[in-house]
Structure 1
Amino acid sequence: MPLVKIGANGYKKVLKFMNKALIIVFVKNIKLGKVKTRLAKTIGDQGAFEVYSELVKITERALENLSIDKRIYFSDTVVNSKWEGLYKTVQKGADLGERMKSAFLDGFHDGYNRIVLIGSDLPDIKAKHLENGLSALIKNDVVFGPAEDGGYYLIGMRKMHEMLFNNKPWSQSNLLKETINELEFHNITFTTLELLNDIDTFEDLIASKFYQSNIELQEKIKQLHD
């Protein structure tokens, strides 16, 4: 039945449901030798540090104008000087699956009913990807932002499906495929967003528009190797 026919009170309830949305961002504490370790094998720890610092800035810009609740989950310890004014805490769990599951459980426990989670190393992430992910959850149980390496840069749910985080091939090229296979087996509805690439290797870096257009970053990397 169209929304215009359900009456004022019903329409308000629908809007209330649609607006109980949350964006979760997983951020690694920016420490030398602790970020972008695969990339660091080629450009060194300092170079990887510079690249990740720039990627976090892109994530910050993608979120800054969104009037949606946001929570920042740091890998090791909360940095009060970053992400000012936002809810900040530390990730909990032995592996990535446990950490994401814990963050989603926190959000659903606190009354949110559309939640998307992203990392902070995406050179092409924009506000529209987050908005599209939340919008997709109006009609679907789960949404993914597929990454070119076979994983995903965004996952969203409108209710908890803990199985999505248990016994998965994290950091492997079949992660998204196996996760989708499980959803299909349990008849859980899902959809996918635009395909994006993250920066894990030197080849990823030099092929990205993010790097090609960032002359200052190029100079920093070059100076480190002169």
Structure 2
Amino acid sequence: MTQILVIAKEPVPGRVKSRLTPPFTPAQAAGLAEAALADTLECVAATPATQRVLALEGLPGPWLPPGFVVIPQRGGGLDERLAAAFADAHRLRPGPAVLIGMDTPQITPALLEAATGALSCHDAVYGPAADGGYWLLGLRVPDPALVLGVPMSRPDTGRAQLERLAGLRVFHLPELTDVDTAADARRVAAGAPGTRFAALHEISAGAPR
């Protein structure tokens, strides 16, 4: 079985989802980030795993369900923080690992089980994002060198990551949309109507600003 890692920021107004403002206020953007994080953690909690790890920048809050090991993020750039999360979780419990962020509240246990199960016969699992990045990376042998130096938050991030995985057996998951902009938020909320994120988006989108 595989462990599942979530890399996230504490949802503090002004420090998360700044690209949602405007049209949302910083407080509304932080609320949407918290809802997305809560949906993500609930999904991970419902998925079989050897260990569930939250690599967190900031402090845990009431949105954190039981059963997670919380570790601090390390490193400067996102590539360093991803590599450190893989390395630190592997030290805690060696074995395959799948890592996701807090920007895809539409994920389901079925998608995560497909990812974790694929590592029994593949070297890596890759979930592309619509913006050119990726929403999931799984490694049968969590090697930080497979992530370090990959340019992040760019339209070619996904292509660069796949080039780093060249020569490995890679299982590909469906493309999902990360919540980065207000348009992304509308799209994700419409596609995941039963989530906290969708419910709060409906309220926030209609609230006076």
TM-score band by shorter chain is: 0.7 to 0.9
How far 1:80 moved relative to its partner? 7.3
Aligned residues: 204
CA offset digits 1:79-126 (Å, max 9, x no partner): 477232321121111111111111111232334321001111213111
CA distance in 2, matches of 1:198, 1:137: 23
Given candidates 163, 184, 194, the residue that maps to 1:204 is 184
SS at match of 1:54: helix
* Cα gap change, 1:202 to 1:22, in 2 (>3 Å): same
Unaligned runs of 5+ in 2: none
Q: Larger radius of gyration, structure 1 or 2?
A: 1
CA distance in 1, matches of 2:70, 2:41: 14
Q: Which residue of 2 aligns with 1:25?
A: 6
How far 1:55 moved relative to its partner? 0.9
Unaligned runs of 5+ in 1: 1-18
1:105 matches 2:79: no
| Percent sequence identity over aligned pairs | 25
State the AA in 1 paired with 2:59: T
Q: Which residue of 2 aligns with 1:10?
A: none
1:40 matches 2:24: no
Q: Which residue of 2 aligns with 1:62?
A: 43
The answer to whether the 8 A contact 2:96-2:119 is kept is: yes
SS at match of 1:224: coil
Residues 109-128 of structure 1: pairs in structure 2 closer than 5 A: 109-128=91-110
CA distance in 1, matches of 2:127, 2:33: 20
TM-score when scaled to structure 2? 0.88
SS at match of 1:143: strand
Q: Which residue of 2 aligns with 1:183?
A: 165
Structure richer in helix, relative to its length? 1
CA distance in 2, matches of 1:224, 1:212: 24
Q: Which has the higher contact order (CA 8 A, sep 6+)?
A: 2
Q: CA RMSD in A?
A: 2.1
* Cα gap change, 1:81 to 1:126, in 2 (>3 Å): closer
CA distance in 1, matches of 2:127, 2:84: 20
State the AA in 2 paired with 1:189: R
SS at match of 1:172: coil
How far 1:156 moved relative to its partner? 0.7
State the AA in 2 paired with 1:188: L
